[in-house]
Amino acid sequence: MFNSIWKTLKLGKSKNRLDLVGLGKKDYFDGVNYVRTVAGLRNVLTKPKQLSTNTSREVTFKGLCFGATIKEAKRLLGKPEFHVRQDQDVVGHEVLFYFSYVGSVKVTQCLHFLYGKFIMGQSIVKTPKPAKSKAIIESVLSGYNLMPENEEAAMGVLFPVCDGSFNRIEIHHVFDLILTYTTGDPEVLPLITKVQVQEKTRSSLLRRALPEQVVRYV
């Protein structure tokens, strides 16, 4: 599905934004492999066992601190490509989408907010070549002074990157390369709750009546 979507896209005048040809933004971003369910969010936010601090630098997502508001994110990162409200599954969950580049590699960035506060960021690269993956991982590790002294050493063992507040960066690389930045605030996980049936029904009615207020282009 994503490959067919991708073929309908072309780069616009700004390399960080896209012109969509014959495709709505909602359809495009529905094809992005980002966390969007209660189970998915709880899984990502659950702290790994034996997690330990390995950097003195605060973990942030492109300079955005955990707990920041949506307004603060837009002020720092600019106008997002898309803003979606996951009102059908997770209460209070919103996601901002951006595009950026690491060298010549295009990255889809997903910023997750719960009740208006930043809790998680994802940088997703579609099926990158090994050299590109290595360059991206090196850029992350170097930002936290974690580059191995031996260049031949496996960089994956240095993840998760974890600061003194247990904010962390985890890496997942099967087909896509996904870097996930997660808050260490223990009070966030209990707030992940599922939308109840009655709320879903009311939300669906509102979407039919006022679609631009539920999922809108920005």
pLDDT digits (tens, 9 = 90+) for 50-66: 899 999 999 999 999 99
Residue 62 in domain:
yes
Q: Assess contact for 111 and 95: CB atoms under 8 A.
A: yes
Neighbour-count burial of 47, counting CB atoms closer than 10 A to its CB (0-12 exposed, 13-18 middle, 19+ buried): middle
Number of folded domains that form the chain: 1
Q: Assess contact for 180 and 169: CB atoms under 8 A.
A: yes
Residue 7 in domain:
no
Q: What is the pLDDT of residue 204?
A: 54
Q: What is the pLDDT of residue 205?
A: 47
Compute and round to an integer the Cα radius of gyration of the chain: 18
How far apart (Å, rounded) are the C-alpha atoms in residues 199 and 202?
5
Q: Assess contact for 110 and 96: CB atoms under 8 A.
A: yes
Residue 131 in domain:
yes
Residue 64 in domain:
yes
Comparing 196 with 201, the larger pLDDT belongs to: 196
Mean pLDDT over each residue of the chain, to the nearest integer: 79
The mean per-residue pLDDT over the stretch 68-76 comes to 97
Residue 127 in domain:
yes
The mean per-residue pLDDT over the stretch 192-205 comes to 63
Residue 10 in domain:
no
Range(s) of the domain holding residue 163: 38-214
Above 90 in pLDDT, residue 178? Answer: yes
Residue 27 in domain:
no
Residue 1 in domain:
no
Q: What is the pLDDT of residue 154?
A: 66
